[in-house]
Amino acid sequence: MERQTRPFLILCAALVAFCGAFFGLKFYNWHLEARAAVWEETEKITVAGIPADDVLQFSYQYDGEELTFVKEGDTWYYQGDKTISVSQSGISDMLLSLEEITAEGEITEAEDLSRYGLDEPANTIWLKLPEGDITITLGRYDDTTGQCYLMISGDDSIYLVDSAISSTFQKSVGDLTEEA
């Protein structure tokens, strides 16, 4: 009988050791992921938060032309031709991208704006709010990080932000027209 129980006990001990190792590694990986998420969140720098509902008018550059949109009541219009039926959800999506602008990095004492493409910006977004105007200047796209440089009026810092903000404001009037 002792001969039969010994291999069984060894197998049970091995099973317990493997289960312990499995759950130990699972906990360790969970712990690393949780720490990475906290680290990633604390590394973000809040640049600005512009409530979409507060924007009364905005403009940006597209294909060498300045496109301006005006809000009358709750409806957005293209200033160049108010007969064009503008996609209200398209405009809302653009403005929602500005509700929380966060950066991965900040340059506080930049001497040469041309180094970041801010002397000849890729795009300039102007926003009219009840409390005053805000200008967001988008500079050069950084191939290494996949981000772009940004300055906001009233702040001397240059921020490295997700390039999604740049692509969000690369829409023609035709891209923002309601389909009939």
Average pLDDT over residues 162-173: 90
Compute the distance between CA of residue 44 and CA of residue 29 in angstroms, rounded to an integer: 23
Q: What angle do CA 32, 107, 143 make, to 5 degrees?
A: 70
Q: What percent of the chain stands above pLDDT 70? A: 87
Q: What was the pLDDT predicted at 145?
A: 82
Q: How far is 137 from 71, CA to CA, in rounded Å?
A: 22
Give me the DSSP letters along 115-162.
GGT-SS-SEEEEEEETTEEEEEEEEEEETTTTEEEEEETT---EEEEE
H or E element in which residue 77 lies? strand 75-78
pLDDT for 8 = 76
Q: CA 17, CA 52: separation in Å to the nearest integer?
A: 56
Burial of 75 (0-12, 13-18, 19+ CB in 10 A): exposed
User: What is the tens place of the pLDDT at every residue in 13-25?
Assistant: 777 777 777 777 6
Angle formed at CA 41 by CA 145 and CA 26, multiple of 5 degrees = 100
Q: Provide the residue ranges of all domains of the chain, joining segments of one domain with +.
A: 1-43, 46-176
Q: How far apart are CA 14 and CA 8, in angstroms?
A: 10
Q: Per-residue pLDDT for 180 more than 50?
A: no
Q: Read off the pLDDT of residues 106-163 as tens digits, 9 standing for 90 and up.
A: 888 888 889 999 999 999 999 999 999 999 999 998 888 888 999 999 888 999 998 8
Find out whether 69 and 93 touch, Cβ atoms under 8 Å.
no
Predicted pLDDT of residue 90: 93
At residue 62 the predicted structure's pLDDT band, cuts being 50, 70 and 90, is: very high
Which has more confidence, 13 or 174?
A: 174
The DSSP string of 47-76 is EE---GGG--EEEEEETTEEEEEEEETTEE
